[in-house]
Chain A
Amino acid sequence: MWVYEKKLQYPVKVGKCDIRMARYLSEQYGGADGELSAALRYLNQRYSIPDKVIGLLTDIGTEEFAHLEMIATMIYKLTKDASVEQLEAAGLGPNYAVRDHAMFYENAGGVPWTATYIQAKGDPLADLYEDIAAEEKARATYQWLIDMTDDVDIQDSLKFLREREIIHSLRFREAVEIIKADREQKKVY
């Protein structure tokens, strides 16, 4: 089970009415390398991974939901007061046609999230290397998003999220080392 804390992992402030950015941020909301994919990928893989690294997948998977919430907050703040004309000008006309101001799990191009974005191979190395790749891709996506806005407040939150991807990548690589080292330990039967 989870315990919910009614606050964000890191403060989200949006300093500028740049609705265009809401659409690009969707890449981290419902994109292939976004936070939803990350959370669901890790929290599913953990059942079939050696028990020494289950806790890591649980912790990181949980943190990804906290990141998802931060991204959702940014998108919400950017779009909640936008007029239909403003949404259309920002490329969000199709979203309004479907669901008014509601958000959805789509990537920056409007392609809906799909479970085919994530894998579970059942092989610990294959799964962990997928996770490492996912963290590097998410880090790169954050870089491009930081490049696309001059809003220093959004940049600040995105820089925090980018740094977390770097930490997660190292933790998954450490998990690979733990998996590899298992044989060297003395087994007592």
Chain B
Amino acid sequence: MYDNQWREWRPYASPDDPCPPVPVKRYIVPPNQYIYFQPSNLPQFSLDEALCKGTLWPALYSPYTSRCNRKGG
């Protein structure tokens, strides 16, 4: 549902690169960037959910998943 916050670009990879190239680089653009001035009466999360997520408004919510690959916990 929130995957549309990610952007991708493809850096140049040389045949002589010393390490295996990462073909696609990604960055996130949170939804606040598209809001000029927050309108009134936007839909809200429940209070419990809002306290957990850090915002009252789904329109401003930006989830982020760790890119940590290490195993264990």
Contact = CB atoms under 8 A, between A and B. Distances in A.
Interface in B14-73: 28, 30-32, 35-38, 51-55, 60-64, 66-68, 70-73
A107 to B, nearest CB: 21
Interface majority SS on A: helix, strand, loop or mixed?
helix
Contacts, number: 67
A20 to B, nearest CB: 11
Interface stretch (A46-54, A96-104, A122-130, A149-157): A149-157
Given A15-B73, A16-B73, A170-B32, A149 B54 contact: no
Nearest to B67: A147
Contact of A149 (B60, B68, B71): B68
B67 A163 contact: no
Contact of B68 (A15, A147, A163, A170): A147
A15 B52 CA distance: 18
Contacts of B30: 139, 166, 169
